[in-house]
Structure formats: C-alpha cells, structure tokens
A = this chain, B = another copy of it.
C-alpha cells in the first residue's frame, strides 16, 4: 500500500487507513536506530530541505537524522538568514527552492495554513513541521505511535490532554488523530486556554485536572509556552502548577497502567513535576525515539514508498 498524497499537512485530513500505514511503516523503520549501522539506502539521491521560519532544534534535528538514516541529502534553510530579510515573499522563497528540485520540503511556519498553501503550489512533497497554533502532524503521529506501542490500539482508550489547548498545535493534531482512530479525548486547562466550542471536535472538557485524569489510559501534558504569550493567560507559573500541573498524587487518579507523555521541551515544576517526568510511567524520551522512526516513515511515504 502507498500513500495517495504527496503531502502530510495535518491529522484532520488523514484517514484511518493512512494513519495505520504511517504507523506500520514507522514500526518497520524503528529497529534501524538500534543497529550498529543506522542507515539504509532507501532515499539515496533524494534531497530533503528543512525550511524553518521558527526556531527549532528538536524537530529539525529529528527530521535531519531521519533523512540521513534513509541516505537522503539534507539542506537546512533557516529563514532568519535567508532572503526573508530582503523582503522576498514566502511563496517566492519556496518557488526558488522548488526550482532546485528537492524531493521533500519540511516546513515550519508561524502562520496557520502556510504549509497547505505551499503544498498546492509546488510539486515536491511537503511535510508540515508545525504551522502556528494549527497542526503539528509528525508530533501527533509519533504520540500515536507511542500509544499504539503501549496499548496495542486506540479503540475505547481514554486520553487526557492537559494544558493550553487553545494555542497548541500538538493538541489539535492529536485530537483529530485520536478521535479518528476511536479514542476518547478529554481536555482540561485554565478557562483562558480552552477554546470555546472545542467540543465540536469530539472531545469533552473537564473543569479540573482531577476530573480529566480520573480513569484515563494516557496522560498527555502540554508545554506551557511562556515565550509565545503576548499577554499572560494565568497569573503565575506557581499558580498554573497548583491547578494544572501533573504531580504524583494526580497521576494516581489515572488507571494503574496509564502512562505519561509530553511533546517537550518540558518545564520542570510548571506543567509537570520532576518526579513524574522522570518516573517509570513517563514515555517522554520514548516519544523522541519514535519521532525519528515516524519521520523516516513520512519521508519515505511522501516520496512514493510503500509497504
């Protein structure tokens, strides 16, 4: 089976079959990372351009390592040093990159929808590495890969997503993906961080973190993005922690076999206590490992690979 699309823009568009194909492909790539020779010739002679309009090392490095393990050539195009400063439009920059015949452009942009617009205008595959507060599909897919690993599937699973739901592209992509696959999603956070009408996406809103956690199979904590808030959405990080931080006591409200995820980087003592982040239930670092495999799968599938 092959992916019938050249772009990965968001979870909103992906079907159950497509999500399963991506997760299965990621599984098949996973063991490459633990070999002595962590490299397969699959994408030799392919060019992957990382086009990042927002600072990122974690996601870019994950894509770069994924591409190199598939033997693709990678070029990093950081917008800060680019012609952006010379007044060139986004589309012109991208059209110029396209003219150098890359196979895939991995793009992160502060504007929601930028990768979607781009994907329509160019021939190479486009992978959205985060667009504004909209979607971050490779993150959601690695989260889902992690959940499927642990739980064997999604049907009937109860997942709590806690934090700034309104501004989180990670939350949005996970909500689309998890509900599509049959999981039940509850969200919780300060009132200023819960977008009105979020229930229409098929989730329930819990008024307190305690209610959100009760009996869940999976706890997904979101990063408090202090650096993104123009105006503060809560009075202090201490207060945030008191009402919505994950501590050991709260973890006990979940099912005994529940595990904890976080897209990173974590703010220790704010949205998650150190004891919890470093506990046996934490899968935060396993998520990162799965991230490389999922991104290998995405690069492979958008360039026409199949299983």
Contact = CB atoms under 8 A, between A and B. Distances in A.
B34 A39 contact: no
Given A45-B38, A47-B68, A68-B47, A92 B266 contact: yes
A234 B260 CA distance: 55
Contact of A99 (B97, B100, B286): B286
A88 B264 CA distance: 9
Given A58-B83, A83-B58, A285 B96 contact: yes
Interface residues of A, number: 60
Interface stretch (A19-27, A59-67, A171-179): A59-67
Contacts of A89: 268
Interface string A82-116: 11011111001101111111110000000000000
B265 A73 contact: no
Given A61-B77, A65-B73, A38 B264 contact: no
A44 B267 CA distance: 36
Given A58-B96, A75-B65, A100-B62, A87 B265 contact: yes
Contacts of A55: 81, 85
A97 B61 contact: yes
Given A38-B46, A83-B58, A289-B101, A88 B266 contact: yes
A22 to B, nearest CB: 19
Copy count, this protein chain:
3
A9 to B, nearest CB: 23
Nearest to A95: B285
Contacts of A77: 57, 61
A227 interface: yes
Interface string A32-63: 01111111000011110100000111100110
A93 to B, nearest CB: 7
Contacts of A81: 55-57, 78
Nearest to A267: B87
A226 interface: yes
Contact of A82 (B57, B68, B86): B57
Given A81-B55, A85-B227, A288 B99 contact: yes
A89 B33 CA distance: 25
5 contacts: A38-B101, A38-B103, A58-B96, A62-B100, A88-B266
